[in-house]
Structure 1
Amino acid sequence: MRVTISAKLKLRHSPEQKAMLDAVSLAYRDALNFASKEAFKLDKTSSAPKIHKAVYETLRERFGLGAQLACTVERQVAATYKTQWTKLGQNLSARERGFTKRRYKGLDSAPKFVSRTLEYQHGRDYSWKKDGRVSVSTLDGRLVLEFDGYAKHLAYIAQGCETGAAKLYYQKSKKQYFLIVALNLDLPDPQPTDHKNVVGVDVGQRYHFVATDKDGQSLFEKGAAVRQRKDQFARTRKSLQRKGTRSTTRRLVAVGSRERRFVADRNHVLSKALLTRFPGSIFGLEDLTNIRERTEGRGDPKASKKAKRAKRRRSQWSFAELQTSLAYKAPLHGSLAVRVDANYTSQACYRCGHASKGNRPGAGLEFVCEVCGHRGHADRVASVNIGLRTLLVRQDWMSTGALSMRPDVSDVEVKAARLSRYAELRWNPDTNPRL
């Protein structure tokens, strides 16, 4: 099993070396914007060969980029346009289904690149030296630098770990360059017998997550404190936006960066808490693709402040980052993360199987089954249902020898068959002698 992780290396550069890195990073950014405008003129093409024919010679002569960096610029611009076309298609589909009235404007003008970040290819633009240094390309040839980083990441590099592409990243606040390197680790292939515990993880806003294992042990993580902190960031942004001066604009950028770092750190802590609390487990995560389009509905310009605040909180809900962080770290801790269908997880009773909106009176946190009368915390009920579906994935894995759960399959009949199997699942703690 191959796992790719990112190592952030702090480059030790002198003022003269920093000037060389400044030159190549700024030239790369200017080249991206030039190629983006040319691609826009070519009917907003996402074809790398077409962009190559139009801009390659100019990238080499005007911007002084090497052959590999010029090709990387073309591929990056092509990928950006491909992403924009994909988002446009998703927007058109959402508008047809009535999920939104907003028109996607990403292709109204050529995408603009602002960040001073460039991509290096291993063996071509950067390479490792035997004395523990790294060699990177600049406009004036190679630059050999020392670096610092996380001890485990440095150990992987020293052991000759396979490395992929790297990004040269400039942190403006510290006036410091970092090299973000992809490390490819070869881990033993996971086996179902290696993961005897199954944990269902329900993510939300009032509770960041509620996790329940097969023995009924639950872990709750409240989100009130984080929500208050985000509201504080929102009030700060609103106050700065009202002033509209150049200094407040700079301050807005700093506040936005601080909020992103706060959210990323929080998701890192939460994912690590789950992996520490339930080691060696299979974690079941809900497939929440397009959840906002399905739940937010159309915007109302006359909505109350309370409704607007609720919508803002939903838009800031970073469930995807939390799930990605958990899935990213799980193999490194001897665990595994799989996705399961999210349909009716908080509305279905795991005792009798009855699923209805009426099981959630007032759409609150209390769950009361209309049929059997079972009561409980709605988020915990959802986590148990997710755990049951994950247990079914593990059983199929043991019987077939292949982990083939695909919740994003678009075939209606296939998904209906899975939901039918879910309706037959039951969970009763009375059958477990440990409880």
Structure 2
Amino acid sequence: MKQIITAKLKLILTPEQVEALRHTQLAYRDALNAVSQYAFDHGKTSSVTKLHKGMYAELRTRYHLPSQLACSVERQVAATYKGLWTKLKKNAEHRRAKITKKRFKGLDQPPHYVSPTVQYTYERDYTFQRDSRVSIGTLNGRISVPYQGYNKHLALIREGATIGDAKLWYDRPKKQFYLLVSLSIEMPDLTPAQLQEVVGVDVGIRYLAVTSTTTGKASFHTGKRVRHQANHYARLRKRLQKKGTRGATRRLRRIEQRERRLKLQANHTLAKQIIKQHPHTLMGLEHLTDIQERTKRRKRKRKKNGKGYEPVSAKARKTNRVYSQWSFAELHTLLSYKATLAGSLAVKVDADYTSKACPMCGHTAGANRPGKGLLFVCKQCQYCLHADLIGARNITMRTLLVWQDWARTGCLSITPDASDREAKAARLQRYAELRWSPEVTKQPPASSRRSLTASL
């Protein structure tokens, strides 16, 4: 099993080296925009071969890029257009299914690159040297510079971790260059017997995460502080944008990354807490897709004065902003790679009806959550519990089912196949037969699996 991490290396540069790297960054960004315009003019192509035939000579002569950097520019633009075409096709499917009415506009204009980040290929554009030095390619040849970094990452580089591509990134507030190096670590393959516990993790906004084990042990991780800070930055941005002065623009630039760093720090801390609380576990996460479209508040159907529809209220706009900035995918990514490094394993299960299905009797209905609040009350058996804990328990049972299939067949599916509707329907039918047994909470983890298996 391979796990990829990123090592952030601080480059110690002279003023001449800073200028050389800055010129390289700007030329690379200009080349990206030129190739993007060429691809747009030639049928919005995502073919690397066509871009290479049409732009390679110009990249070498006009922008003075080395051969490998010119090829990196073409590959990066092709990957951008390929991703846009994928989003366009997905949007067409959503419009046919009436999930959304908006048309995808990403291909109406050529993508414009603003960030001057440069992509380097290992052993072609950059190489590591002795005495903590790295050789980096510029427009005028290689330069050798010393670097600093996290001790564990430096040890991995010295001890032979598989080194991949890197990105040259410039931190504008600190006026500092960093080299972000991709490292691939070989991890031992796990077996079902090595994972002593099964944990389900339900993510949300009021509570960033709620966990539950098969023995009923639960933990709540609130997101109140992060939510209030995010609302503060939203109000501050609105005031500054409305003011529109040069000073307000400078202030916006200073705070533009603060909210992102705040949420990243909160997710890092939360992921470490969950991994530390549950060592050597099979961790179940929800396979969440299209959250923004499914949770978006839309215009009311009732007409206003017979002329069009009523606009979205201020409360609905705030709700849309909160959901659009929900960083659950970042938290899932951090949990996945931290679990692998700690000897655990994270898998994803279907998220359908996890907050609507009663784990005791199996009754599934939206009315089980009155007002979509934090209280879950089953309309059939009157079972009452915290709604997020209900979701965590349903995820735990589905993850336990994955563990049992893994132990029986020897094959593990990390992510459910959402494209096969028949397979998903069969999985949902199996999930509907799961029941949470109160006796499970009185037994150790090993026997809890057998007890819960008997209640399926």
TM-score (norm 1): 0.97
Q: Does 1:228 align with 2:228?
A: yes
Match of residue 191 from structure 2: 191
Tell me, yes or no, if structure 1 residue 412 matches structure 2 residue 421: yes
- Measure, in 2, the Cα distance between the counterparts of 1:85 and 1:253: 31
Deviations 1:35-75 (A, max 9, x none): 11111111111111101111100111111111110000000
Asked if 2 retains the 8 angstrom alpha-carbon contact of 1:128 and 1:135, the reply is: yes
Q: Percent identity of the aligned residues? A: 52
Work out the CA distance in 1 between the residues paired with 2:101 and 2:254: 32
* 1:432, distance to aligned residue in structure 2 (A): 4.2
Counterpart contact for 1:99–1:298, Cα < 8 Å: no
Identify which of 382, 385, 398 aligns with 1:389: 398
**Does 1:308 pair with 2:317?**
yes
Amino acid in the other structure paired with 2:34: F
Contact residue 99 and residue 297 of structure 1 kept, 8 A: no
Structure 2 CA distance for partners of 1:88 and 1:275, relative to 1, 3 Å:
same
Instruction: Number of aligned residue pairs: give it.
Output: 435
Q: Is the 8 A contact 2:297 2:316 kept in 1?
A: no
Shift of 1:231: 0.6
Is the CA contact (8 Å cut-off) linking 2:405 and 2:412 kept in structure 1? yes
| Secondary structure class of the residue paired with 2:262 | helix
Q: Distance in 1 between matches of 2:235 and 2:118?
A: 34
- Residue in structure 2 matched with residue 240 of structure 1 by the alignment: 240
Equivalent in the alignment of 2:273: 273
Q: Which residue of 2 is the match for residue 17 of structure 1?
A: 17
Q: Identify the residue that residue 93 of structure 1 maps to in structure 2.
A: 93
Structure 2 residues without counterparts, runs of 5 or longer = 301-309, 445-456
Q: How far apart, in 2, do the equivalents of 1:267 and 1:292 lie?
A: 20
Deviations 1:71-122 (A, max 9, x none): 0000001111111111222222222222222222211211111111011101
Change in CA separation of 1:12 and 1:322 when aligned onto 2, cut-off 3 Å: same
> Taking structure 1 as reference, are residues 405 and 260 closer, same or farther at Cα in structure 2, changes over 3 Å only?
closer
Select which of 344, 347, 365 maps to 2:356: 347
TM score, norm. by length of structure 2? 0.93
Residue 405 of structure 1 and its aligned partner are, at CA, apart by: 5.0
Report the Cα distance in structure 1 between the residues aligned to 2:299 and 2:83, rounded to whole angstroms: 25
- Other-structure match for 1:335: 344
Distance 1:246 1:305 in 2: 28
- Preserved CA contact (<8 Å) 2:10 2:147: yes
Instruction: Report if the CA contact (8 A) 2:216-2:440 is conserved.
Output: no
- Deviation of 1:2 after TM superposition, in Å, equals 0.8
For residue 276 of structure 1, give the secondary structure of its aligned residue in structure 2: helix
1:177 aligns with 2:186: no
Match for residue 112 of structure 2? 112
Tell me the CA shift for residue 327 of structure 1.
0.9
2:432 corresponds in structure 1 to 423
Distance 2:208 2:428 in 1: 25
- 2-structure distance, mates of 1:134, 1:237: 40
Partner of 2:132: 132
Q: Deviations over 1:190-242 (max 9, x none)?
A: 11111111110011111111100111111101122211111100000000110
Is this contact kept in 2: 1:358–1:370, CA < 8 A? yes
CA shift digits 1:119-148 (9 cap, x unpaired): 110110011112221111011111111111
Structure 1 stretches of at least 4 aligned residues deviating more than 3 Å after TM superposition: 297-301, 431-435
Looking at structure 1, the residues matched to 424 and 172 of structure 2 have their Cα atoms a distance apart, in angstroms, of 48
2:353–2:364 CA contact under 8 A, matched in 1 = yes
Q: Report if the CA contact (8 A) 2:2-2:185 is conserved.
A: yes
The aligned counterpart of 2:375 is 366
Query: Match for residue 219 of structure 2?
Result: 219
Displacement of 1:299 in angstroms is 4.6
In 1: Cα distance, 2:251 partner to 2:45 partner:
36
Separation of aligned partners in 1, 2:342 and 2:4: 14
Structure 1 position 23, deviation (Å): 1.3
Residue by residue over 1:11-45, the C-alpha shift from the partner in whole angstroms, topping out at 9 and shown as x without a partner, is 01111111111111111111111111111111111
Q: Residue 128 of structure 1 aligns to a residue in which SS?
A: strand
Aligned residue number for residue 387 of structure 2: 378
The letter for the 2-side match of 1:303 is: V
Matched residues in 1 for 2:436 and 2:28: separation? 57
Inter-partner Cα distance in structure 2 for 1:431 and 1:199: 14
